[in-house]
Structures are given as structure tokens and as C-alpha cells.
């Protein structure tokens, strides 16, 4: 199988994402991890852009072994000299130089003629070749260039000694079929193209950077320039993890290999995200939080029966330990029962059905994932209804800073009798407890009341723990709910039921 070389530009183009600037130490840490990941080329930076970037590139060149260390240069003598100074200590150094190829950039940015640009490209590649055998050239904005002029520019730099020709879709303009055809036409029509490696560098302005890169591979490209998490200028670059896993997963279409250790992908993604402070969106392909998560009941049922029904790759292949079954309002009984078993509960079908009913009600109110801690709280609070003397059916509270709190409660006894009561108090919790006392008619004293969140977030399930005294004995109770007032009522009734069992 042919080898696809992975050229990582996270430290150069990726750093051009607004707010993603990295210091020297951070760049070295990421470069070290990129080495573990197995990338072939690390574009360590743009040495001429700043003294800090120069020092970072030089340190990476001196430190990192394995990958080729590349520095970017404009097609200017000062840039190329400076880049060589930064990367010269690398065991495998590469100079990457570029100049615009499209009419719009040549006219409005460079203010030069086509002939002048060709001569600059030839001279600067020749200069770079005097420093190192490994020279890459990019005709910037190639996808908007005149095709004949693009061919001429590529032939010119090949004659001057370029060993890699990179075709950049600088503004993310291309469509996959169109871009694949462009690579195929270059491979067919450019003199000397068989002597060099064809590379691509695709931007994501239309959301097509990965698709364009894969289309290029199908048409003769053998090096792909990409970044971790797809970060980069504007809408970003082709994502390394997407390209590599597409090649690995679709062997029926891509008879290629890379040198990437895919089990390092997730770790690398997290490091880059944390360092650049650029959060990976939850539904991001391969490395997003939801990439291996299942919430729909239909999907969960199929996945639990056979993983490949809804997963085309394993989480372990990118360095995760397992897939995630997300329990929410769309989840089914199969997934819920499976989670109970994972938590160590051995329940009857009746208890599971009761717990599932409460789970669904909680999920509808919470509208987000129900965590294992919340499920345990539901189990501890709800499934033993057959053993309860009193069960909370409903609670209503009227309260505020201008009114006296008033509680209406409705309880159901173990025999199915419905009992209702109303009481006021100095606060909503006291009003609830006084209402319950009217129904239960057992003298008790509240000696401890504690509230804590089972999980974080504004919609977290709250848990209330209390202790009451009656007849010289102490009884504890616990209740959980997304409404802390309801949780308080449940906790009090839980303690009352414990008291009743000992009576």
C-alpha cells in the first residue's frame, strides 16, 4: 500500500487561529506529543514572524527527533535565511516557501506581473535548495489560479529543485470533485511532477477541507497538511484525526497507510485544546465528546446487542477506553437496565419498571444527561415504594419575600389511600414538614438538614440528607430531585418511613 505522509501544521497555521497563541514551552510540549503521534513532518512555525516563534522553531529543531522539522518562509531572501538559521540543527530539516499564484492576489496583494512572480519563485527555491535538499513550495491560492499559469509555476520550481509541491486551497474555495480533478490534471500535465511529492493544504471555509483532502489522495496526492482538531486561520484546516481515521476506516476506498499511532489521537486532541484554550465542540468528528456517545433508545438497544450496529470504529482506536451510553429523555429500558447492572443493582422487573418511570420523569425535567450518581439517588429514593408507609405524590409551594410560605402536600399510603394537607411555615421547607406532620401525626424533631448537588450545572439534581429524632431515637432520610424543595419532602418522608418500620 502507498504511504500518505502526514504534515502537521498545528504549530504554524493552527496558531493563526485568533486566541490560539502558544509560548515556547507549550509549542515544545505539543511538538513532543506530535512525535509520539507519529506525524511525518512538523511545521514548527514561521521563524521570520517574531523572535519568539524563531526561538520556538529552533528549540523544536534541536529537541525533536523522528519527524522532519519544517519552517515556513515567504518567498523572500530574509525569510529563507532566517528559517534555515532556525531549523539547521534538525536531523531532517525542511524549508517551506510560498508565493501567490492567483490573479486576484498577484494584482492586489503583490502588485507584480506574472513573469516577476515566476522569477521570484525560481530564485527563492534555488536559495532554499542551497541550504537543504528538502524544499517544499506552495503556489498560494492555487484553486483560484489560472490553470496554465499554475502548471508553469510548478514546473519552474521543480526545475529549481523543489521536492514537494503543495497545492493549497488557501481560502477554502474548492469542491471535492473539482479539487480532485485539479490534482489529477497537475499529475497528468505538469512536466517533472513524477519526481516530486504532491501535497495539499485545505482550508475549511465551506466545511469541505477533509473531503477535499481525501479527494486529492484519490487523485495522486501523497502528503496531506492538516492540524489537530482542525484549528487554523478563519474556519480552520483539514483535521488530522478526520483524515487519518477516514483512511483507516475505509480501506475499501483508500488502499493507503500512514505512520500515525491512532491511539495517541485523543490525548493529542486534548493537549492542543487545553493549550490553545479552543474548546472542541461536542459533535466534532472523532474527538468530540459525543463522537462515541449514544442517547437514542433505538441506537442504544442496537449498540448494546452488537457494537457495529451504530459504531464504525472503536473508541479504543483513538485512545479512549470505551463508548458512552448517555442516559437522557430519549433513552430506553435496555440502556437503563444495563446501567443499573453496571452500578451493581440486582432489582426485580417491578422495581426496574418503577425506577425507569421515575428516571424518565427526571430526564424530561432535567433535559440533559442523567448521571450514574443521579441514577443511584433515584434508586435509593424511589424503588422501594412497596416498603413505604407514605409516598410523596405531589407537593406545591407558595413562597416569596412578600408572602408567608404555604405548602400543599399529597401523600399515598402503602394501601393506596390518598392523604392531603396544607400548612404554613417560616420557610418553604418548614411549611412542607409541618404539612407532612399533620398527616403522619408522629412527634418528631428535625436535628440535621443538609443539601448538596449530586452533579454540577444549573440543572443539577440536588440531594437532601436529614436526621430526625423521635422517642429518643434518630432516623436518617435522603431525597433527590432536580427541585430541591421536592427533594426536601422526599428526604423527610424517607426518614418517617424508617421510623415507621421500627415502630
139 near 168, Cβ under 8 Å?
Answer: yes
3-state secondary structure of 238: coil
**pLDDT for the residue numbered 386:** 42
At residue 459 the predicted structure's pLDDT band, cuts being 50, 70 and 90, is: low
Rounded CA-CA distance 414/64 in Å is 71
CATH 3.40.1410.10 fits 2-276, yes or no: no
Residue 488: pLDDT over 90: yes
CA dist 20 and 275 (Å) reads 8
Out of 150-164, 218-232, 409-423, pick the least confident: 409-423
Nearest of 12, 156, 3 to residue 70 by alpha carbon: 12
Whether residue 373 is predicted with pLDDT greater than 70 in this model: the reply is no
Q: Is the pLDDT of residue 497 over 50?
A: yes
Q: Is residue 456 predicted with pLDDT exceeding 80?
A: no
* pLDDT single digits (tens) 90-137: 999 999 999 999 999 999 999 999 999 999 999 999 999 999 999 999
The predicted pLDDT at position 76 comes to: 97
Report the mean per-residue pLDDT for the chain.
Answer: 90
Q: For the chain, count helices (H), then strands (E).
A: 16, 18
Give CATH for domain 385-502: 3.30.160.270
Distance CA 148, CA 102 (A): 11
For a pLDDT cut of 90, what percent of the chain falls above it? Answer: 65
Banded model confidence at residue 398, pLDDT cuts 50, 70, 90: very high
Domain spans of the chain, in order of start = 2-276, 295-382, 385-502
CB-based contact 247:19 (threshold 8 Å): no
Span 196-216, average pLDDT:
98
How much is the pLDDT for 20?
A: 85
User: Which helix (H) or strand (E) element contains residue 97?
Assistant: strand 93-100
The predicted model gives 262-287 an average pLDDT of 93
- Out of 138-142, 262-266, 462-466, pick the least confident: 462-466
Average pLDDT of span 457-464? 71
Which pairs count as long-range contacts for 359-366, CB under 8 Å and 24+ apart, including other chains? Answer: 359/327, 360/329, 362/461, 362/481, 362/482, 363/327, 363/328, 363/329, 363/331, 364/329, 365/482, 365/483, 366/459, 366/461, 366/482
Q: Which residue in the block uniquely carries the three cell numbers 471535492? A: 176
Residue 385: per-residue pLDDT: 41
Listed in sequence order, the residues at least 6 apart from 47 whose beta carbon sits closer than 8 Å to its beta carbon are 53, 54, 57, 58, 71, 72, 73, 79, 82, 83, 85, 86, 87
Amino acid at each position: 500500500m502507498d504511504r500518505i505522509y502526514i504534515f502537521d501544521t498545528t504549530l504554524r497555521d493552527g496558531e493563526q487561529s485568533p486566541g490560539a497563541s502558544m509560548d515556547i514551552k507549550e509549542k515544545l510540549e505539543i511538538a513532543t506529543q506530535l512525535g509520539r503521534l507519529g506525524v511525518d513532518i512538523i511545521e514548527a512555525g514561521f521563524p521570520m514572524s517574531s523572535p519568539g516563534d524563531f526561538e520556538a522553531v529552533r528549540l523544536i529543531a534541536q529537541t525533536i527527533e523522528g519527524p522532519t522539522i519544517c519552517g515556513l518562509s515567504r518567498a523572500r531572501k530574509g525569510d529563507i535565511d532566517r528559517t534555515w538559521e532556525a531549523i539547521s540543527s534538525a536531523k531532517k530539516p525542511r524549508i517551506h516557501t510560498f508565493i501567490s499564484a492567483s490573479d486576484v492576489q498577484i494584482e492586489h496583494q503583490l502588485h507584480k506581473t506574472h513573469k516577476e512572480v515566476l522569477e521570484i519563485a525560481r530564485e527563492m527555491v534555488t536559495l532554499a535548495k542551497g541550504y537543504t535538499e528538502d524544499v517544499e513550495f506552495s503556489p498560494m491560492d492555487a484553486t483560484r489560479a489560472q490553470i496554465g499559469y499554475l502548471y508553469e509555476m510548478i514546473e519552474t520550481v521543480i526545475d529549481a529543485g523543489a521536492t514537494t509541491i503543495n497545492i493549497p486551497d488557501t481560502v477554502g474555495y474548492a469542491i471535492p470533485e473539482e479539487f480532485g480533478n485539479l490534482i489529477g490534471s497537475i499529475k497528468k500535465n505538469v512536466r517533472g511532477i513524477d519526481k516530486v511529492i504532491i501535497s495539499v493544504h485545505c482550508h475549511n471555509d465551506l466545511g469541505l477541507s477533509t473531503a477535499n483532502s481525501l479527494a486529492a489522495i484519490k487523485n495522486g496526492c501523497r502528503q496531506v497538511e492538516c492540524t489537530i482538531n482542525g484549528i487554523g486561520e478563519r474556519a480552520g484546516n483539514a483535521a488530522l484525526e478526520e483524515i487519518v481515521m477516514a483512511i483507516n476506516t475505509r480501506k475499501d476506498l483508500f488502499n493507503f497507510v500512514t505512520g500515525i499511532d491512532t491511539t495517541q489521537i485523543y490525548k493529542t486532541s486534548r493537549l492542543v485544546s487545553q493549550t490553545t484554550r479552543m474548546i472542541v465542540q461536542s459533535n466534532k468528528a472523532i474527538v468530540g465528546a459525543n463522537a462515541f456517545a449514544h442517547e437514542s433508545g433505538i441506537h442504544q438497544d442496537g449498540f448494546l446487542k452488537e457494537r457495529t450496529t451504530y459504531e464504525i470504529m472503536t473508541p479504543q482506536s483513538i485512545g479512549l477506553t470505551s463508548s458512552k451510553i448517555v442516559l437522557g429523555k430519549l433513552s430506553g429500558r435496555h440502556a437503563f437496565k444495563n446501567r443499573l447492572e453496571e452500578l451493581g443493582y440486582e432489582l426485580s422487573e417491578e422495581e426496574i419498571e418503577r425506577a425507569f418511570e421515575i428516571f424518565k420523569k427526571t430526564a424530561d425535567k432535567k433535559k440533559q444527561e442523567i448521571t450514574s450518581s443521579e441514577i443511584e439517588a433515584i434508586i435509593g429514593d424511589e424503588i422501594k415504594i412497596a416498603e413505604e408507609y407514605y409516598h410523596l405524590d405531589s407537593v406545591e409551594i407558595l413562597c416569596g419575600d412578600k408572602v408567608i410560605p404555604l405548602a400543599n402536600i399529597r401523600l399515598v399510603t402503602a394501601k393506596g389511600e390518598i392523604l392531603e394537607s396544607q400548612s404554613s411555615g417560616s420557610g418553604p421547607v418548614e411549611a412542607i414538614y409541618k404539612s407532612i406532620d399533620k398527616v403522619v401525626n408522629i412527634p418528631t424533631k428535625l436535628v440535621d438538614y443538609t443539601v448538596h448537588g449530586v452533579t454540577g450545572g444549573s440543572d443539577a439534581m440536588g440531594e437532601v440528607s436529614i436526621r430526625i429524632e423521635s422517642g429518643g431515637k434518630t432516623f436518617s432520610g435522603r431525597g433527590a430531585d432536580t427541585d430541591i424543595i421536592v427533594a426536601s419532602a422526599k428526604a423527610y418522608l424517607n426518614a418517617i418511613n424508617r421510623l415507621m418500620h421500627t415502630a
